[in-house]
């Protein structure tokens, strides 16, 4: 089975392609911004740049499984930068506007929108536009050794990652309290 993070990234690309078929069948790439790689011209690049534990689901309670009560899957927040590479600035703006439209129109991808392999692992993924500060944007592009360019930044919740080993803690099957008379 492919890792959940990879499945989510590929699902985002497939979702964009399915909602923008008028722009071609392969205008969106899942790529890295690392300085050694080249970004294909006239393509949209969806780049994962950070993986974080989901703050609000960090202390989720144990869940019941056949092995007993086990730790719940790890919930993640994935951060993406989305940029279009072209020498025509108007084209860059137009393509990024299409991405905005797609993710604004469908900010939640449920089981019907996800590939079966991912839908078996997660109930949904939520896509939110982020607005990093100028300093944060500069840090992202500097870290990848690239000049800053016009881009969109997205936060994607939740991609559960199951624990490798699920040792069950067992289940309480009976509660019993017995009283005895105390002679005093």
pLDDT at 170: 56
pLDDT at 1: 46
Q: Is residue 116 part of a domain?
A: yes
Q: Is residue 180 part of a domain?
A: no
pLDDT at 183: 81
Q: Is residue 177 part of a domain?
A: no
Q: Is residue 123 part of a domain?
A: yes
Q: Is residue 38 part of a domain?
A: yes
pLDDT at 164: 60
Domain hosting residue 11, numbered range: 4-60+70-157
Using the structure block, give the residue that is written with the tokens 């536009």.
129
Q: List, for the chain, all residue ranges whose pLDDT scores fall below the cut of 70.
A: 1-2, 35, 158-159, 161-173, 184
Q: Is residue 183 part of a domain?
A: no
Q: Is residue 162 part of a domain?
A: no
CATH code, 32: 3.30.2000
Q: Is residue 126 part of a domain?
A: yes
pLDDT at 122: 87
Q: How many domains does the chain have?
A: 1
């Amino acid at each position: 089975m492919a890792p959940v993070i990879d499945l989510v990234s590929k699902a985002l690309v497939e979702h964009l392609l399915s909602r923008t078929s008028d722009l071609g069948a392969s205008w969106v790439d899942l790529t890295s911004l690392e300085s050694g790689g080249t970004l294909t011209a006239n393509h949209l690049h969806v780049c994962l740049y950070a993986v974080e534990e989901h703050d609000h689901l960090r202390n989720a309670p144990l869940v019941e499984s056949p092995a007993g009560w086990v730790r719940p899957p790890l919930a993640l927040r994935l951060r993406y930068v989305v940029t279009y590479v072209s020498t025509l600035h108007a084209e860059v703006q137009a393509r990024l506007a299409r991405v905005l439209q797609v993710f604004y129109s469908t900010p939640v991808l449920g089981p019907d929108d996800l590939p079966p392999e991912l839908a078996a692992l997660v109930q949904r993924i939520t896509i939110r536009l982020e607005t990093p500060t100028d300093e944060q944007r500069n840090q992202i592009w500097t870290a990848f050794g690239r000049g800053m360019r016009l881009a969109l930044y997205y936060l994607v919740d939740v991609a559960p990652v199951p624990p490798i080993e699920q040792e069950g803690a067992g289940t309480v099957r009976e509660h019993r309290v017995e009283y005895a008379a105390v002679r005093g």
